[in-house]
Amino acid sequence: MAAVTVLNPSNSDALLVKLAREIAMDIQPLETILKQYSLDANRWEKLKENGKFQALLFSETEAWNSAQNTHDRVKLKSAAMLEEFLPELNNRLHDGDEALPAKIEGLKVLTKIAGIGERAEGAAGGERFTVTINLGEDSKLITIDKMVASKTIEHDPAE
């Protein structure tokens, strides 16, 4: 049997896939995406007629809109909206006329996003350890769920 040679996609192929994905995701306006890829109106018109690009765009749009992708799609769009709001939040936090309770709520959002000041669940009293054993279809499931106390190892540098 003859060996099959698999060619790596060229840089332009990779760029076409990225462009198609960005357009399919529809998170930013098309004009913004085209500007990011340095595409003027003439080049965009020619690219829209390119069969390879049309197939890539169709494929990326189908994948992005699939039911299996709903969670990721919502998560990514929410993150993009949050990112767009951050400059306004910053302005409002530094606005002397903004009410203090609103500023505090804004700071709570920022600290949560940054992961500042939050304790991991179970960190204070130990950690939860779970083992699940499945003995097959006809047997039952065995689950062991136990809290494990934290251990502190102390060392005296004088010793």
Q: In this predicted model, which residue has the larger pLDDT, 147 or 80?
A: 80
Amino acid at 141: L
Secondary structure of the chain as H, E, C letters: CCCCCCCCCCHHHHHHHHHHHHHHHCCCCHHHHHHHCCCCHHHHHHHHHCHHHHHHHHHHHHHHCCHHHHHHHHHHHHHHHHHHHHHHHHHHHCCCCCCHHHHHHHHHHHHHHHCCCCCCCCCCCCEEEEEEEECCCCCCEEEEEEEECCCCCCCCCCC
Burial class (CB in 10 A: 0-12, 13-18, 19+), 9: exposed
Whether 28 is covered by a domain: the verdict is yes
CB of 64 closer than 8 Å to CB of 72: no
Residue 112 included in any domain: no
What tens digit of pLDDT does each residue of 65-114 get?
Answer: 888 888 888 888 888 888 888 999 999 999 999 999 999 999 998 888 88
Residue 23's domain comprises 12-65
With a cut of 50, say whether residue 8 has pLDDT above it: no
Residue 3 lies in a domain: no
Provide the b/e sequence for 33-53 (b: ≥16 CB within 10 Å): bbeeeebeeeeeeebeeeeeb
- Residue 158 maps to a domain: no
What band does 116 get if pLDDT is binned at 50, 70 and 90?
Answer: confident
User: Is 36 part of any domain?
Assistant: yes
61 lies in some domain? yes
Q: Domain for residue 1, yes or no?
A: no
Domain for residue 50, yes or no? yes
Alpha-carbon separation of residue 72 from 16, 43, 66, 129, 139 (angstroms) = 22, 31, 10, 29, 35
Q: Whole-structure pTM over 0.75, yes or no? A: no
Q: How many domains does the chain have?
A: 1
